[in-house]
Amino acid sequence: MTRRKTSPQKKESETVLSPTELQNLDYNSMSESQFRSTIIQLLVALEKSIKDSRDFMTAEFRANQAEIKNQLNEMQSKLEVLTTRVNEVEERVSDLEDKLIAKRETEEKRDKQLKDHEDRLREINDSLRKKNLRLIGVPEGAERDRGPEYVFEQILAENFPNLGRETGIQIQEIERSPPKINKNRSTPRHLIVKLANSKDKEKILKAASKRQEIPDFYGEEY
């Protein structure tokens, strides 16, 4: 829109009205020049209002945009921190799982070794028991002077004279069972004879079974 040029004198005579005053004017009583001047003022006021609104909205938008950007940056930083912590936790959990698996494998291996040792010990013990003889009724202290081996050899010599000479029985160990004397027990403790060969035990038991008057020899297989 092309504005009409006015002389400096006319500008000085014109009064700039506020928007409220412009709205309250009686346009019907105005002259043509007053009406045109009023319309121009209305347009100028409207243009200024639009410009002010646009500037305000632009400033608000930029301020909000900067605030939103700062909030996004802050959220991004927090997200990165949380991601780092989650990764650290996952690594720790993974390490713990690896340690638990390794510990479980170690325990399983140890349990297997322990079971193998127990089975081996049981086999050895069973093997040893198969070579043992239990003598019942040998008086306490009979072995005090010459030892339990002499007592056993005397029992064999008296009851099975041919057996000892033929087989050459080898004795590994002889001991009382239980090791300590029970004062409340009237019968003597048994003698456990550990032989080197299970066949010797079988021969002794076989010979003893033929002589019913000698019931003091028993195989210890339990």
| CATH number, position 147 | 3.30.70.1820
Residue that terminates a domain, selected from 121, 156, 189: 121
Asked if the structure places residue 202 within a domain, the reply is yes
CB-CB contact of 110 with 167 (8 Å): no
Asked if the structure places residue 187 within a domain, the reply is yes
Residues 111, 25 share a domain = yes
Residues 96, 164 share a domain = no
Whose structure tokens read 């004397």?
181
Asked if the structure places residue 1 within a domain, the reply is no
Asked if the structure places residue 205 within a domain, the reply is yes
Asked if the structure places residue 173 within a domain, the reply is yes
Residues 175, 89 share a domain = no
Residues 116, 30 share a domain = yes
pLDDT at position 210 is 74
Residues 107, 141 share a domain = no
Residues 87, 32 share a domain = yes
Residue that terminates a domain, selected from 67, 87, 121: 121
pLDDT at position 109 is 93
Asked if the structure places residue 6 within a domain, the reply is no
Residues 189, 138 share a domain = yes
Residues 54, 139 share a domain = no
Residues 206, 109 share a domain = no
Q: What is the pLDDT of residues 169-199, one digit of tens each?
A: 888 888 888 888 888 888 889 888 888 888 8
Whose structure tokens read 């070794």?
113
pLDDT at position 134 is 85
What's the domain count of the chain?
2
Residues 140, 90 share a domain = no
Asked if the structure places residue 3 within a domain, the reply is no
pLDDT at position 102 is 94
pTM as predicted: 0.43
Residue that terminates a domain, selected from 121, 149, 184: 121
Residues 29, 111 share a domain = yes
**Full domain range(s) for residue 187:** 130-219
CB-CB contact of 6 with 40 (8 Å): no
Asked if the structure places residue 24 within a domain, the reply is yes
pLDDT at position 203 is 82
Omega within 30 of 0 (cis) for the link into 178:
yes
Residues 114, 20 share a domain = yes
Segments of the chain scoring below 50 in pLDDT: 1-13, 215, 221-222
